[in-house]
Amino acid sequence: MINQVINKEILKEVRLFFGTLIFKEDKLKIVPEELTHNYLFANFNIPQIIKEYYFSPCQDMLTDADYKKFVSSGYVGNAKTTLSPYPFCYNGAFLARKKLFYQLMSLINSNNKYKGKSLKKFSDLFPYFEEYSLGFNEGFNSFEDDCIKKFLPMFPEKSDFINKVFEYVTKEIIFRHSWRNNHSGFTVSMSVDNEFKDGGEIIEAFEDGKFQGYFYKAWSLLLSNSKLFENLFVELLNSKAIPIQNDIVSDVLKASHTMQQNKIYWTLDEDSRTRQLLDLLHKDYHTKDQAKYGKSTVGKQAGSVDGVIYLNNKEYFLEAFNLNSLRKSTIKTHIDKLERNYDSKGIKEKFIIVYYNLKQNTFQKAIEKYKRYISSEHTFVYSRVKDMIEIPIEYTDSRLFITYHSREGKEVMLYHLLLMFPT
């Protein structure tokens, strides 16, 4: 792997690698052997609910076909706990599988550099990993002081420490902190003098390592005392709370779910559904249906975006369409229109809403196909800068994802809301 060109083949290796791979000997000896996650899983009886939460970042990286191949080769493990989040190590610092996957994906056909040097082979990233390992070392060794002790009461009890470690591992702050979903790629600095095609400079290697060092130490503490945390995970995963901290996203979800439960809309066209969704939002927001913005696909007249939501002088564009299967050309057409044709100003947040007309028990398979297409096949007008994350929501017949993109050196977001309508 070390001398491989960064391409789709290496992505598959990173995605499915089984075991532990050390790219450089761990001279720093950051993590004592008894605190490595492999050791803890091998020597302690970790509750299944904690195992699955720990492995959750990589569960969507293992397809049914991949798992069947593992089984045909003699593997007998649970699919949910097959792909370790930290299978790679460089100079004592563990690398997160999912983060590395999206970092490498972002380098394919890009001109991004690290310290002015091009990144074409995996070994070209070693200078980045050197800085990363220094950050990982600091994060691992300062976790308690930086993330726990300063937030404890004056006379803490043992339960206070346990609750703070649990909170660190499980809290979900959109765009900033999430064990399960926030595994972003590189942070890239773009010069205002360069065109986007010229690429940018990868930065924050130390900060990336420090963040992963925090997470690794938190899990070391948790796994070595897992029975003390088991009930906290049971309570968390039985909770129906929606960790969404953006009001407009929450309200679009509420309007969508209200429309979804009305059988009148189960068989209607996409325009009727979208008009109803905007009408449900109208009491709290100013909305427009089929507003004229940008240019049409043929470039002669103003394009017609499906909906515009106004709040505090901010605009949010909404593009919606019906699907009954994974029609890649349809998805591409609508996303391209939203990115290229309608938005001439660079709006920070936009919505793609997919109305899936499906038979019962087929929605999950449709979701997986959509995610794979968006993650590995679709070419966005504005390149992705982080991996797609899923926002947990309380209903089974909808899913919400976010993709992050760089536009003129600024980060913009595209929300993908998938709604099922039974046929």
Claim to verify: residue 230 and residue 254 sit in the same structural domain:
no
| Residue 257 covered by a domain | yes
| Residue 1 covered by a domain | no
Claim to verify: residue 183 and residue 273 sit in the same structural domain:
no
| Residue 24 covered by a domain | yes
Claim to verify: residue 84 and residue 223 sit in the same structural domain:
yes
Give the span between the Cα atoms of 208 and 86, in whole angstroms.
14
Claim to verify: residue 254 and residue 230 sit in the same structural domain:
no
Give the chain's mean pLDDT.
Answer: 87
Structural domain tally of the chain? Answer: 2
Whether the Cβ atoms of residue 382 and residue 407 lie closer than 8 Å to each other: yes
Claim to verify: residue 230 and residue 258 sit in the same structural domain:
no
Last residue of a domain, one of 171, 203, 238: 238
Claim to verify: residue 200 and residue 293 sit in the same structural domain:
no
Claim to verify: residue 119 and residue 263 sit in the same structural domain:
no
pLDDT digits (tens, 9 = 90+) for 138-155: 999 999 999 999 999 989
Last residue of a domain, one of 192, 220, 238: 238
Range of the domain at 95: 8-238
Closest CA to 343 of 378, 312, 318: 318
Whether the Cβ atoms of residue 123 and residue 2 lie closer than 8 Å to each other: yes
- pLDDT bin (cut points 50, 70, 90) of residue 305 is low
Last residue of a domain, one of 212, 238, 264: 238
pLDDT digits (tens, 9 = 90+) for 28-86: 789 999 999 999 999 999 999 999 999 999 988 888 889 999 999 999 999 999 999 99
Claim to verify: residue 84 and residue 189 sit in the same structural domain:
yes
| Residue 367 covered by a domain | yes
Averaged over 331-356, what is the pLDDT? 89
Q: Are strands 314-323 and 349-358 parallel, antiparallel or unpaired?
A: parallel
Copy the structure tokens of residue 365.
């398979």
Residue 171 DSSP SS3: coil
| Residue 373 covered by a domain | yes
Claim to verify: residue 418 and residue 317 sit in the same structural domain:
yes
Query: Is the model's pLDDT at 337 over the cut of 90?
Result: no
Claim to verify: residue 45 and residue 174 sit in the same structural domain:
yes
Residue 242 pLDDT: 40
Give the span between the Cα atoms of 86 and 20, in whole angstroms.
8
Claim to verify: residue 290 and residue 409 sit in the same structural domain:
yes
Claim to verify: residue 325 and residue 201 sit in the same structural domain:
no
**Residue 99 backbone phi and psi in degrees, to 5:** -65, -45
